[in-house]
Amino acid sequence: KNQVEQSPQSLIILEGKNCTLQCNYTVSPFSNLRWYKQDTGRGPVSLTIMTFSENTKSNGRYTATLDADTKQSSLHITASQLSDSASYICVVRVGGSQGNLIFGKGTKLSVKP
Amino acid sequence: DTAVSQTPKYLVTQMGNDKSIKCEQNLGHDTMYWYKQDSKKFLKIMFSYNNKELIINETVPNRFSPKSPDKAHLNLHINSLELGDSAVYFCASSRRAGTTNTGELFFGEGSRLTVL
């Protein structure tokens, strides 16, 4: 069964600290994996996409990794800011013509001053 | 200009009523979606339309009926509203995923439905 599991469910860190969010998937065949950021009261917005051949990709203070062998991805946030407080959702696209999306339940990050 | 816009943003109504949520995208995408986000913040696909044609219809009560008058619009009509329908409904659009397109979803701001 195609599934995406995220951990931790929630996380509280102090401003300026780093953190890492995890995403494990059992999706086959795999097409790509995307991390979305959802601010409170807003729709999710894509942060980065990882394809099968990519190991690491950075977008400012956000760095995503992908290990296709272990089917794991991580999102590392460096020098956190208050504006990083949001839910982070991992979404994996199934390969093939249908291309269904499998959503994780998200990690709620709170950055405190 | 807002890429994906949905109205209304807030909707409070009584059980048994019928209501609609409208969605429009100006990105030129050919695929549009409706998602439901419950109190636990989990996003679940409800419907997906490609070029006005229904391609995904998850297990959703038939009280929910999507209508796509053209590629840029996908409206959601809900009959006989129940308490459990209270949630945030998100419209999204994308280009159909293919060999050169990764199918990034662009979401609207959400419509919070409260059924009393």
Of the pLDDT bands very low, low, confident and very high (cuts 50, 70, 90), residue B97 is: low
b/e burial code for range A9-46 (CB count within 10 A of at least 16 → b):
eebebeeeeebebebbbebeebbbbbbbbbeeeebbeb
pLDDT tens digits for range A74-107: 999 999 999 999 999 999 998 876 678 999 999 9
Proportion of chain A in helix, strand, coil states, percent, rounded to 5: 5, 60, 40
Give Cα A32 to chain centroid, integer Å. Answer: 12
In contact, B23 and B49? CB cutoff 8 Å: no
| A18-53 per-position pLDDT tens digit | 999 999 999 989 989 999 999 999 999 999 999 888
Q: Is residue B99 scored above 60 in pLDDT?
A: no
Flag whether pLDDT at B80 surpasses 60: yes
Asked if residue B81 has pLDDT above 60, the reply is yes
Query: Is the per-residue pLDDT at B4 higher than 90?
Result: yes
Side-chain-facing half-sphere of B7: CA atoms under 13 Å: 4
In angstroms, the separation between the Cα of residue B95 and the nearest Cα of chain A is 12
Q: CA nearest A65: which of A86, A90, A30, A29?
A: A90
Size of interface A-B (CB pairs under 8 A): 51
The answer to whether B12 contacts chain A (CB < 8 Å) is no
Contact B104 A46 (CB under 8 A): yes
The CA distance from A108 to A50, in Å, is: 21
Encoded tokens for B66: 């999507």
- pLDDT at B27 exceeding the cut of 90: yes
